[in-house]
Chains A and B, each alone.
Chain A
Amino acid sequence: MKRPEPVHVVKQRREGLLRTLVDAVPYIAFLGIRFDRRGDELTAVLPYKEELIGNPILPALHGGATAGFLEIAAMIELSWSTLWDGVEAQGALPEGPLRLPKTIDFTVDYLRPGLPRDAYARARVTRSGRRYAIEHVEAWQDNRARLFAQATGHFLMPPAESPK
């Protein structure tokens, strides 16, 4: 029987993949989005800051900031879940420039105003084919069961790497 890998090797590889995806995109840093990882499960975190406000009277998060947050959560989850198997099997990140999926369309439902505090989102790949993928995203703040926004989107997958 093969000995299990040391835990720090596993963690380093998975954190490396996540960082490669997240650090590549300037817009993720612009919004200040982080990702929490438990095994292969990702939660996108949007720490509150004043620049995310769209309605200063209420105050409430800007619908566009919420939409951007959900779209990032979806895009990273899709790349992450697509690359996971290969990275786990080969023990190394794929070579060459990272190709991200492209959004075809994205529909956001706003269920309640986004409060001026941290927000969380999880995306689920509903269907993933060779060319197209569909995802559903849920976002909440204080209470996991009380969503403040949800979204569905279609994505165009990057062309598959040519076999070496």
Chain B
Amino acid sequence: MQDRDTLTIARQFIEALPHSRTLGMRLEEMGEGWALLAMPYDPKLVGDPQTGVIHGGAVSALMDTASGAAVLCHPQAGFSTATLDLRIDYMRPATPGQTIRARAECHHVTRSVAFVRAVATDDDADRPVAMATGAFTIERGAQ
């Protein structure tokens, strides 16, 4: 799954999503049922002007996109997916100026639902910035 062509196609797919593209997201790595996305620091995304910390909403968007990508590259995936719910725990402010990376993984997949967990980190990868848990649809279309 990790061959160059698949990664290139997946990368183009993520970068074709207008909101993800606007946020500067980039797919860095992927495998069966997991994906790693990066979002560079951008002053436009600041949520707290006193500290320059990126708003949680942008981190949510990164976690959501990484989770969706993890669902789509699962071997039992359908042709599309949508978020049913997503819970995010904000554990510490991301350090201003640093790229945020989110690694999402499907930990259980049924015929119609994928359960995903994601972790977001900045340069200090040992201390997560945020963690997410979500349920995603598996869209199989008419069969």
Which residue numbers of A lie inside 8 Å of B, CB to CB?
24-27, 29-31, 50-57, 60-65, 67-69, 71-72, 75, 97-100, 102-110, 113
Pick the contact of B62 from A64, A69, A103, A109 — CB < 8 Å?
A64
Does B89 have its Cβ within 8 Å of any Cβ on chain A?
yes
Instruction: Find B56's partner among A52, A60, A103 (CB 8 Å cutoff).
Output: A103
- Contacting pair B85 A64 (CB below 8 A): no
Among B20, B22, B43, B82, contact of A113 (Cβ-Cβ < 8 Å): B82
Enumerate chain B interface residues (CB-CB to A < 8 A). Answer: 16-23, 43-50, 54-58, 60-65, 68, 80, 82-90, 93
Chain B residues with Cβ under 8 A from A52's Cβ?
18-19
CB atoms of A105 and B55 under 8 A apart: no
**Cα distance A100–B47 in the bound complex, in angstroms:** 9
Take A26-B49, A104-B89, A110-B83 as given contacts and tell me if A67 and B18 are in contact as well, using a CB distance cutoff of 8 Å: no
Residue among A25, A53, A104, A108 making CB contact with B55, cutoff 8 Å: A25
Residue picked from A63, A102, A110, most chain B C-beta under 10 Å:
A63
Which residue from chain A places its CB closest to the CB of B47 in the assembled complex? Answer: A27
How many A-B Cβ pairs are below 8 Å?
Answer: 138
B62 surroundings in chain A (CB, below 8 A) = 64
B19 surroundings in chain A (CB, below 8 A): 51-54, 61-62, 64-65
Least CB distance from B124 to A in Å reads 19
Contacts of A61 in B (CB 8 A): 19
Candidates B18, B82, B85; contact of A109 at CB < 8 Å:
B85
- Distance in angstroms from A68 CB to nearest chain B CB is 2
CA distance A135 to B87 in the complex (A): 14
* Bound-complex Cα distance A139 to B23 (A): 22
> Are A53 and B87 in contact, with the CB atoms below 8 A?
no
Given A25-B49, A62-B64, A71-B56, decide whether A107 and B87 contact each other with a Cβ distance below 8 A: yes
Please give me the residue from chain A that is nearest to B131 by CB atom.
Answer: A105
